[in-house]
Amino acid sequence: MAKLIDGDRISEEIKDEIRKEVERLKEEEGVVPGLATILVGENPASKVYVNRKHKACEEVGFKSEQIKMDESVTTDDILLEIERLNTRKDIHGILVQLPLPKHIDRRKVLEAISPDKDVDGFHPINMGKLLANNEALVPATPAGIVEMLKREDISLKGKDVTIVGHSEIVGKPCALLMLNEWATPTICHIETKDLKVHTLKADILIVAAGVPYLIKEDMVKEGAVVIDVGINRITKDQANEELLEWRKEDFEKKGATLIGDVDFLRVEPKASYITPVPGGVGPMTIAMLLSNTLKAAKNIMRREASKVKECYGELKDMTKDEMIENLDKMVGELFDKINVLQSEIDGLRRDIEEKEKTIKALKSSVKSLDDKFERV
């Protein structure tokens, strides 16, 4: 019988470590990590996921901010919001909840996020760093898988790892992380000719296909480590008799249950370790998102400190006259920026005045029509 890898327990350990580090940062540096999420539309599942992320932020002492946008917004509307968040000093992590409405350019949106604040790890620069074994901000789910394996003292070095699913969110980054840990990864996908051939040789099998019961007992070798990333909602009318009995409480209370991509009841006796669904990889994803946000805050803080140090070094080598000249230049640039801002404010004021005139004219027209109707 396999040992269950308890993602709930491990994620709580990680959150406790993050909480202590946040307290230290706040006390010693006056810095509180900040995460902003952008939610577009009314997708019920997305709302649940975003709320969980903000709840987790609250638990560890992060500042968090949720930006809700109507489904009718354009790509440019989202890009403007991202640009604003990129420049904010109190926000260290930015996350755009996926999926986005079909009319939104997903790639353009994700690439607009500053790589330094890309806590989902989807930006091409962060993906490139992962490829070069210079890991910066790594996608949360694959990072969570590696972390849970390490915390269970499951060695990756030299192991054959089969990954079922080649998405940019899980499969591809997971393969790169495995390479960086000196494992030998194999990626399978919908066009793979004989899936069983590849899964049977795996010391560690990672499944992220979104297909319930995809991995059967005869597809897993004895003693394999099985990581089930799949999350499939099964309603009472979709369930077989075995599932109805196994998850009886879920069906009675909620009318549905969650299962993974692995036939758990049959695979579990063959495996050495296995993750349950729910309570396995899911909680680790949120924990690693928090970890990425903390890492981003510390990286940004170090970069700012480095700039100050560099500036101090330059000032130290300047003569008094050079310092005064440099200061005059900075003051001049500051006044230029103030003038630009004042010009923009004046423009906005003129727009508001024009709108007020339009509203006043409309009100007058409505009143005139009301008077006519009364006379009639």
Measure the CA–CA gap between 336 and 330, rounded to whole angstroms: 10
pLDDT of residue 374: 67
Longest C-alpha distance within the chain, in Å? 92
The per-residue pLDDT string of the chain (376 residues; one tens digit each, 9 = 90 and over) reads: 899 999 999 999 999 999 999 999 999 989 999 999 999 999 988 999 999 999 999 999 999 999 999 999 999 999 999 999 999 999 999 999 999 999 999 999 999 999 999 999 999 999 999 999 998 899 999 999 999 999 999 999 999 999 999 999 999 999 999 999 999 999 999 999 999 999 999 999 999 999 999 999 999 999 999 999 999 999 999 999 999 999 999 999 999 999 999 999 999 999 999 999 999 999 999 999 999 999 999 999 888 776 666 665 655 666 667 767 777 777 777 777 787 788 778 878 888 888 888 888 777 777 777 666 666 5
Q: Tell me the C-alpha distance between 156 and 139, whole Å.
A: 19
268 contact partners, CB below 8 Å, separation of at least 6: 1, 2, 274
Structure tokens at 290: 């928090």
Rg of the chain (C-alpha set): 27
The answer to whether the beta carbons of residues 40 and 97 sit under 8 Å apart is: yes
Give pLDDT, residue 314. Answer: 58
User: How high is the pLDDT of residue 114?
Assistant: 96
Quick one: pLDDT at residue 358?
A: 81
DSSP reduced 3-state for 155: coil
What residues act catalytically?
A: 53, 97, 120
CB 222 within 8 A of CB 196: no
Residue 106: name the closest of 35, 168, 44, 176 by CA.
168
Which pLDDT does position 331 carry in this prediction? 75
Q: For residue 21, which phi and psi values (nearest 5 degrees)?
A: -70, -35
Q: How many helices (H) and strands (E) does the chain have?
A: 13, 11
Q: CB–CB of 263/248 below 8 Å?
A: no
Q: Facing residues of 262 across strands?
A: 215
Closest Cα to residue 83, out of 109, 62, 103?
109
For the record, the structure tokens of 267 come out as 């695979």
Verify cis geometry, omega within 30 degrees of 0, for the bond prior to 33.
no
Q: Quote the tokens at residue 154.
A: 């499951």
CA pair distance 272, 109, nearest whole angstrom = 41
- Residue 165, SS3 per DSSP: coil
Q: Residue 118 carries which DSSP code?
A: B
Q: Which residues fall within 8 angstroms of residue 289, CB to CB, at 6 or more apart?
A: 35, 53, 56, 93, 95, 119, 120, 140
| C-beta of residue 178 within 8 angstroms of C-beta of residue 160 | no
Tokens of 217: 């007992």
Q: Token pair for residue 367?
A: 């009143």
CA pair distance 22, 62, nearest whole angstrom = 8
What is residue 367's predicted lDDT score, i.e. its pLDDT? Answer: 73
Q: Are 222 and 216 in contact (CB under 8 A)?
A: no
